[in-house]
Structure 1
Amino acid sequence: MDAEAASRLIAAAADATLVVDGDGVIRDMAFGNADLAAALGGRKAWVGRSLVDSVAEDSRGKVQEMLAGAAGHEAPRWRHLNLRGMDGVTLPLLCAANQVTGSDRSVVFARDLRLLASLQQRLVEAQQAMEREYGRLRQAETRYRLLFQMSGEPVLVLDAASLRVLEANLAADRLFGAEPSFLDAFAAEERPKIEALLAAVRSAGTAEERRVMLAGTGREVLLSASLLRHERSALFLVRLAYLGVEREPVAAPTSSTRLAGFVESTPDAFVLIGADGRIITANPAFLDLAELPNEAQARGEELSRFLGRQSIELDVLLAQVRGRGPVRLFRTIMRGDHGSQAEVEVSAVSVIDGGQPCFGFTIRDIGTRPALQPEAASALPAAGQLTDLVGRVPLKELVREATDVIEKLAIEAALELTGNNRASAAEMLGLSRQSLYVKLRRYGIGEADADEES
């Protein structure tokens, strides 16, 4: 192969090919990509320039390592270099160098990464757009949930198949209380009408409202329902409107008193610090983690004394809160005054107290997790093996088998908690003693006592 053919082959092997002498000066240059040639200003703009001086600051060390490796006849290794164009724009290139045998000159092969960089930038922008959209969806969900809870009329979401209550607002909780099912809250003679209404909604999507009577109080309400679709399941949205009486207002919590009580009693540690990082107030859970006897000893201390592997962690956390808003689930450690340490997750927010900025921290201990009891652990595989029966037995039998396993575990746990007192176990499970005896015989649990024999 003659010299001209060899040069064309080398030029075609990459988007750009550079010949660099032993001093790192570009002696020749060829392009296999017309777009890259136009972006770099052509061959004449680069011949005679130092390659190290032609790249961005962060790429100069890479160029020196690449040329040194080529001079030492090491295997070529591709490196990401940012070449500075004639108009000041930085162009990303993937480069590798190989020294010419018997010469101090090296051939540098470069591939254009602009398309890849553009795709990566678009991916980052798409991800940020998705995060913003998720944030808007969460805010919308919060608004609708707040509206749902503040409604003065009872509103419930039911499973269309079982009529099990999935969600209920405050007014519905106050009306239904601990009723075992939706239909049990209504008078017995009203239940067929309600079932007919729900059947019509299930088939048509909507139905006329019905006047029905509540059980116990005899109060008359207007019941309406709509059908919702969620994934592959059907749900009922049920609304009750009181008739003949003024609607009961939703009891709103008194913000200051109840919030203060919640902060004091919550198992998660809470601490409020000033702009100087010193503790203003803390709840008992924080005092337990910090191993302090009372709040007076915590007040005025720097939070970095207790929180963070290094003091710089708290500075970083506060900088994030100041610059970007609330921080969630920041993992670090909490150090006690007597040397103990605990893995914690921290959420922080900036607030205004008396016109002065301060920072609130919620700290959750994640170092200890409750272990599964050995008896329950040994029983879990039996429940897990039920999945092996899918496709071999009907669904009805599979559900019955799963129910039996759960029922047996619940009875055994109740007997263990009550010291094998069957009367107390039956009360705990919400069963009559006769029903409990039947289930004990069915599952072969324990021995029959005198009452059971009789």
Structure 2
Amino acid sequence: MTNLAQPDVTIFLDHAGVIRRAALSPAFRGEALDAWVGRPWAETVDSFGSESLRSLVDDARDSGVSAFRQVNQIFPSGLRLPIEYTAVRLGGDAGLVAIGRSLQAVTELQTRLVEAQQTMERDYWKLREVETRYRLLFGSSSDAVILLRVTGLAIQDINPAASRALGGSTVARRPLVGKDFSGELVDGERDLFHAMLRRLDEQGSAPGILLHLGVERAAWMVRASRLASEAGSLYLLQLTATEAASTSRQSAEGEFADVLIERLPDGFVVTDRDGLIHWVNPAFLDLVQMPTAGGVLQQSLGLWLDRPGADMSVLLTTIARLGVVRPFSTRLRGELGGETEVEISAAGDLDTEPSSIGILFRDVGRRLPRHDNDQRLGGRLNALSGRIGKGPLRALVDEAISVMEQHYIEEALELTRGNRTATADLLGLSRQSLYVKLKRYGMDQDTVTDPGSRT
């Protein structure tokens, strides 16, 4: 990765946005930029980013410093990379200087962070899934099932069918929990039941016995088995009515999927593995400010994401590896200039390497505070523009680079939630180099975590 002490791309422009000269960091060794000289800067990026660069040049020329813009830069060799630019007016006829940073490393780190999050959440959701399935099966089973504590034979849990067998109601089954099951048995059958449990404990299995349960003392065949749980060992009792008539139930299922997705208030998109849009619902068209689906079908979803190439790359890479993406935040850009904070969650039709991907976009603009990092950086660079003419150009450029370096370190710390080791990896620095920079900018006293610094 590139050290933040030097920009990845430095471009000197006249006030009309025409390139006078350009330089690259050593990471781009082999790229010859002579072909850019004399060309409008806006012609060196893809068509979607041209207008962004024109706005960037206008802002820098009029106010002295521009906000950040992210575009797909096309290099003379044909290489395309997502680059984030800002520009500063140099004063007089000196023109403008644009400083750019490659987002490729950020994309790779975001992918790793998403994968780490998926790994941490996977076990949690597996546990929740097992618990949910247990509760659904336990509650909806037509077989009567009772869980008894081994010590005391108190009822640990009981499903609705067993509650009815004991003469209770489906809703009021909870009062049975905690009661001694032996008290529900006929006097002559209590010893038989205890003998079955002793045999189960000694031999691991026991034949079923016939018990008469409930107010009407209906005959039930009872089988028992041992079950381990967090609450300790349990007896699982399965009750089968000897004269129960099986009733078949048919449930008619309407095919409402398409209608429901069309009516969702959240945007929904179906893409192929390359991110080309195949289907959208009306809510997504509202988010990107498009009147009809014809304007987005067969287009890359990345055209409307906050960081061209970066967010889309993270999404597709994670889907290809894991088959699912749990919510992460980004922004959608509308065709009329609007921007919407959204949370994205997605799933593929296969666990890995899916051919189709369904992506849900939830508008969280009213829920999530907007980041003011760009405004804070803009204020710092504005302060530098007031010093034009009061010192040599090299000193101004060095200060601008320091301001940007501090900005990206702050963003990386925010992205990693203060983890210094992860921050150093994100920025392509050694941990010691990061400590030096934190101390230089007075950030070493901030509350950050560093799991690798303690033994």
TM-score of the alignment, normalized to the shorter chain, above 0.5: no
**Shorter-chain TM-score range:** 0.3 to 0.5
Higher relative contact order (CA 8 A, sep 6+): 2
Q: Of Structure 1 and Structure 2, which has the larger fraction of its residues in helix?
A: 1
Give the greater-gyration-radius structure (CA): 1
TM-score (norm 2): 0.42
